[in-house]
Amino acid sequence: MKRKFRLLALFFGLICIAATVQNQKNVLIVGDSISIGYTPFVVKALQPQVNVEHNEGNGGSTVRGIQKIEQWIGGKQWDVILFNFGLHDLVYADSARKYDVVNGKESVPIEQYKKNLSQIVAKLRETTATLIFINTTMVPENSLGRKVEDPAKYNEAAAEIMKQNGIKVIDLYTLSKTVHPANFPPKSNSSNVHYSESGYEQLATPIIEAIRKAL
């Protein structure tokens, strides 16, 4: 009798797992190293009902986005795609690709950034996914190769493109200005654009909420 109950429990357990997989939603996050940091917290919060994936590696600038977006989308049916570009567009580098705000120049000037974003959005709109843009996080004082004031400028430019296309924007920039001062990486300093685990967890909160609403 006990063996019979164990078999029944196993059978119904397998049915529940199959039903979960069948009804599972697919979410793609495309973005830079900041997004790589908060994605695990998004995955943890939404599993197993939602399958959350990040593009392979660092999304980089909009130039790389144009080159790779089709590959990142792949052949999967995505329910929601969240995407972010900016932190690598606004970086200053010299001819040797060394970050340098004095002798270098912007990787992707704002007007070109807008054109590139429009091209990426056009490709994303070929999918049936709900699209959500995540704006660029803050740049702290003395950050290597980046200027404090630039994220706001690039975010404003990105907002124009998203408004034209009816795409929701998550304002991670404003949140990051509150989170970063107490949550930059351990064994680093406040000029680092990245975050501690606690910082990434806080950045993940509005993203998790937006995904849940979209689904």
When pLDDT is averaged across residues 130-138 and rounded to a whole number, the result is 98
β-bridge partners, 81? 28, 131
Count CB atoms within 10 A of the CB of residue 85.
Answer: 29
Place of tokens 């999304």: 59
Whether 77 shows a pLDDT value over 50: the answer reads: yes
Distance from C-alpha of 169 to C-alpha of 131, rounded to nearest angstrom: 9
Count CB atoms within 10 A of the CB of residue 210.
Answer: 19
When pLDDT is averaged across residues 25-30 and rounded to a whole number, the result is 98
Tens of pLDDT, residues 165-199: 999 999 999 999 999 999 999 989 999 999 999 99
State both tokens at 48: 């197993």
SS3 of residue 160 by DSSP: helix
Pairwise pLDDT comparison (3 vs 83), residue with the higher score: 83
Whether 30 shows a pLDDT value over 70: the answer reads: yes
Identify whether the C-beta of residue 123 lies closer than 8 Å to the C-beta of residue 111: no
Place of tokens 């609403």: 213
Q: Which of 4-18, 33-47, 61-75, 91-105 has the lowest mean pLDDT?
A: 4-18
Distance from C-alpha of 22 to C-alpha of 38, rounded to nearest angstrom: 26
Predicted local confidence at residue 97, as pLDDT: 83
Q: Which of 4-8, 100-104, 126-130 has the lowest mean pLDDT?
A: 4-8
Predicted local confidence at residue 12, as pLDDT: 42
Tell which residue, 210, 132, 148, 140, has the closest CA to residue 179.
140
Predicted local confidence at residue 119, as pLDDT: 98
Whether 215 shows a pLDDT value over 70: the answer reads: yes
Place of tokens 């654009």: 193
Find the distance separating the first CA and the last CA of the chain, reported in whole Å.
Answer: 43
Single pTM value for the model:
0.89
Query: How far is residue 194 from each of residues 28, 94, 168, 186, 188, measured CA to CA in Å?
Result: 21, 22, 24, 10, 9
Whether 140 shows a pLDDT value over 60: the answer reads: yes
**What share of the chain in percent tops pLDDT 90?**
86
Q: What mean pLDDT, rounded, does the chain reach?
A: 92
To the nearest 10 degrees (0 to 180), the angle between helices 197-214 and 33-46 is 60
Distance from C-alpha of 83 to C-alpha of 39, rounded to nearest angstrom: 12
* Ordered domains of the chain (ranges, CATH): 26-214 (3.40.50.1110)
Tell which residue, 105, 74, 72, has the closest CA to residue 91.
105
Distance from C-alpha of 153 to C-alpha of 141, rounded to nearest angstrom: 16
Distance from C-alpha of 82 to C-alpha of 133, rounded to nearest angstrom: 6
